[in-house]
Amino acid sequence: MCGIVGYIGPKGAVPILLEGLKKLEYRGYDSAGIAVIEDKNLELRKAEGKLKVLDDKLSLEKFKGNIGLGHTRWATHGRPSDENAHPHQDCGGKLALVHNGIIENFQEIKRNLEKEGHTFSSETDTEVVVHLVEKFFSGNLSEAVQKATALLEGSYAIAVINQENPDQIVAYRQDSPLILGIGEGEYYLASDIPALLPYTRRVIILEDGEMVELNRENYRVIGPGGELLNKEIEEIDWDLEMAEKKGFPHYMLKEIHEQPDVMRQLLEKPLRGSEIELPEIDAILKSQEKIEKIFIVACGTAYHSGLIGKALLEKATGIPVEVDMASEFRYRSPLIGENSLVIVVSQSGETADTLAALRHARDKRAKTLGIVNVQGSTIAREADQLLLIEAGLEIAVASTKAYLNMLTAFNLLALKMGDGDIAGNENGELLHLLREIPAQVEKTLLRMEKPVRKAAEYIKNWDNAFFVGRGLDFSLALEGALKLKEISYIHAEAYAAGELKHGTLALIEEGIPVVALLTQESLLEKMISNIQEIRARGGYVFGITQDRFASRVAEEVDFLFKIPNTADIFAPLLGTVPLQLLSYFTADFRDCPIDQPRNLAKSVTVE
């Protein structure tokens, strides 16, 4: 998501800020800006688009100021534009502030500030923060920041400079990362370690509620109660490539571990209150009574998310749903019209077949909804409505965090279109359980690594593997098999468990690995019967189930993975984690090029 960089020291700030922002590009952004103080004048330069646009602007000027802030913005409140880009200023133009995160109560604060005479020039939630700091500023910037942040609700990291004091930066963290870099007679701020490594490897990682004051001689870290903290300086021994991977050996593993955070990002706004808020799809909701059929169109992993989306939407709305591979959609002459809703799903928003399906749907006057990860992509621009999955930049070709957030988006969509009810589950109960899922994903990651490594050591020696499940578990099994194929080059196939006796059992031989998903209570006994058929023919079964079913399942499988308890409809959000890790560690044991598997590309822009 957004990125912050700050610098104070003897060097020119602008090149350092730009280089730091380049190191944070992987976080995803749609505009960028910097603020520097030069001769006690505050200079701001901001630009929509990539950093090159900002760089080109700055190349015409020769700022020599040696204190400044930089920012890359991923739009949340307000469209991508020069006006909405950070840094933001107060009414007097003396303060500049950058911010990552979301201020949940910004509208109330903004109304009160406007009554007091403050004027705003952007659509962002961020701008209220700099005006709050202005309101409380009476010569002490740190005190003003403390008073301002006491009124904020949400997740944020901020940094502020004041042109009347060109020797100070004040920054504060609450639920959004912020790191202090310590150099020789100079100090740095950044959202992530890669931005600091060209300049220093000595860092202090700020915790929630902590504020840091930087000046040219020293720094101070102040705790939530105003106490001065003596925090340990950490030495980072990563090279730059490792830093971008946050110390993980591959981007894929890093992205698997980012899933709790990106899921929280996606859920944060819709789940603020007692009901789901999805203003992005208001037009669809207003015309929902006229929708006679829903089509979900996608490719690969996105297609697999659509299979789960179909089940959720049908249960929630009672509207028939069809799921199509985008490469086949147009060529079967689908019966769509103005009372159809066509949902197209794509991580990049540029997938050629999916884009063609979207245009075909629009030609047929169908309503269209894009579920994508890249704001400003072609699908994002051309779909009637847009639901961003907020997964951030995904570098590994095999999608993990984008897939999980696609599933999350379908859950939100189904709950909203079903007025909070899916298959008889009450709204309040489901929203409570959905809020818990990011923490449960974290718990699953912690408990899974050792057992999954052990399972992967077994699977790595086989040329074939099978994945089986029923209902939602079958749709998830398809994704598990795809992941193993993509990065380990083991031939893997997924089957609906009830279809085994219709031919697939002929392929079961002694010891062959079979991954069985048993997360759905209503299908548990039937799945156990299917597993017994597999084991009777020599198959070696790895079971994935919820904790509450573990005692029943354990005696039926050879190896058991347990995920935390949740509503059955949410189980795929947790069940995908062991499948991702299993494919990753299997590929790692086989020395495969995990992040860039042969013959595959991240964004497929040809048909």
Least confident of 21-35, 178-192, 232-246, 347-361: 232-246
- What is the mean pLDDT of the segment spanning 425-439? 83
Least confident of 24-28, 69-73, 437-441, 483-487: 24-28
- Higher pLDDT pick, 101 / 469: 469
Band (pLDDT 50/70/90 cuts) for residue 194 is: confident
Band (pLDDT 50/70/90 cuts) for residue 539 is: very high
Whether the pLDDT of residue 1 is over 60: the answer is no
The pLDDT score that the predictor gives to residue 601 is 59
- What is the mean pLDDT of the segment spanning 409-423? 84
- What is the mean pLDDT of the segment spanning 156-169? 94
Per the structure block, which two tokens stand in for 21?
A: 């922002």
Per the structure block, which two tokens stand in for 520?
A: 């759905």
CA–CA gap between residue 240 and residue 500 (Å, rounded): 49
Exposure string of 512-535, with b = 16+ CB inside 10 Å and e = fewer, is bbbbbbbbbeebbeebbebbeebb
Band (pLDDT 50/70/90 cuts) for residue 133 is: very high
CA–CA gap between residue 488 and residue 482 (Å, rounded): 10
Please state, as a whole number, how many other Cβ atoms lie within 10 Å of the Cβ of residue 443: 16
pTM here is: 0.71
CA–CA gap between residue 197 and residue 313 (Å, rounded): 46
Whether the pLDDT of residue 437 is over 70: the answer is yes
The CA–CA distances, whole Å, from 538 to 505, 512, 533 equal 11, 7, 9
Question: In the beta sheet, which residues pair with residue 182?
Answer: 187
Band (pLDDT 50/70/90 cuts) for residue 426 is: low
How far does the chain reach from its first CA to its final CA, in angstroms? Answer: 30
The pLDDT score that the predictor gives to residue 602 is 58
Band (pLDDT 50/70/90 cuts) for residue 424 is: low
Least confident of 235-249, 281-295, 418-432, 445-459: 418-432
- Higher pLDDT pick, 314 / 424: 314
Predicted confidence (pLDDT) per residue in 270-298, tens digit: 988 778 889 988 888 888 989 999 999 99
Predicted confidence (pLDDT) per residue in 49-82, tens digit: 989 999 998 887 888 899 999 999 978 888 889 9
CA–CA gap between residue 178 and residue 192 (Å, rounded): 7
The pLDDT score that the predictor gives to residue 599 is 77
- Higher pLDDT pick, 516 / 278: 516
CA–CA gap between residue 460 and residue 455 (Å, rounded): 9
Whether the pLDDT of residue 605 is over 50: the answer is no
Angle (nearest 5°) at CA 341 between 338 and 346: 135
Share of the chain above pLDDT 70, in %: 96
CA–CA gap between residue 362 and residue 329 (Å, rounded): 13
Least confident of 232-246, 390-404, 517-531, 580-594: 232-246
Q: Which fold has domain 440-607?
A: Rossmann fold (3.40.50)
Query: Is the separation of the CB atoms in 314 and 291 below 8 Å?
Result: no
Whether the pLDDT of residue 604 is over 80: the answer is no
Predicted confidence (pLDDT) per residue in 371-386, tens digit: 999 777 789 889 999 9
User: Beta-strand (E) ranges in 270-389?
Assistant: 293-298, 321-325, 340-346, 367-372, 385-388
Q: Where in the chain is the domain with CATH 3.60.20.10?
A: 3-244
Please state, as a whole number, how many other Cβ atoms lie within 10 Å of the Cβ of residue 545: 27
Least confident of 24-38, 123-137, 398-412, 501-515: 24-38
Whether the pLDDT of residue 302 is over 60: the answer is yes
* Active-site amino acid positions: 2, 602
Q: Where in the chain is the domain with CATH 3.40.50.10490?
A: 248-424, 440-607
Pick the CATH number of 248-424 from 3.20.20.10, 3.30.70.1230, 3.40.50.10490, 3.40.50.9100: 3.40.50.10490
Residue 48's nearest CA partner among 33, 36, 26 is: 33
CATH 3.40.50.300 is the classification of domain 3-244 = no
Q: What is the DSSP letter of 56?
A: H
Band (pLDDT 50/70/90 cuts) for residue 606 is: very low
CA–CA gap between residue 185 and residue 200 (Å, rounded): 11
Q: Amino acid identity of 380?
A: A
- Higher pLDDT pick, 161 / 64: 161
CA–CA gap between residue 394 and residue 301 (Å, rounded): 13
Spatial neighbors of 558 by CB under 8 A, at least 6 apart, are 535, 540, 541, 542
Own/partner pairs, 150-155, CB within 8 angstroms, 24+ separation: 151/105, 151/109, 152/103, 152/105, 152/109, 153/103, 153/104, 153/105, 154/101, 154/102, 154/103, 154/104, 154/105, 154/106, 154/125, 155/101, 155/102, 155/268
CA–CA gap between residue 129 and residue 78 (Å, rounded): 16
Average pLDDT, the chain: 92
Least confident of 114-128, 202-216, 219-233, 421-435: 421-435
- What is the mean pLDDT of the segment spanning 526-540? 95
- Higher pLDDT pick, 28 / 228: 228
- What is the mean pLDDT of the segment spanning 106-133? 96
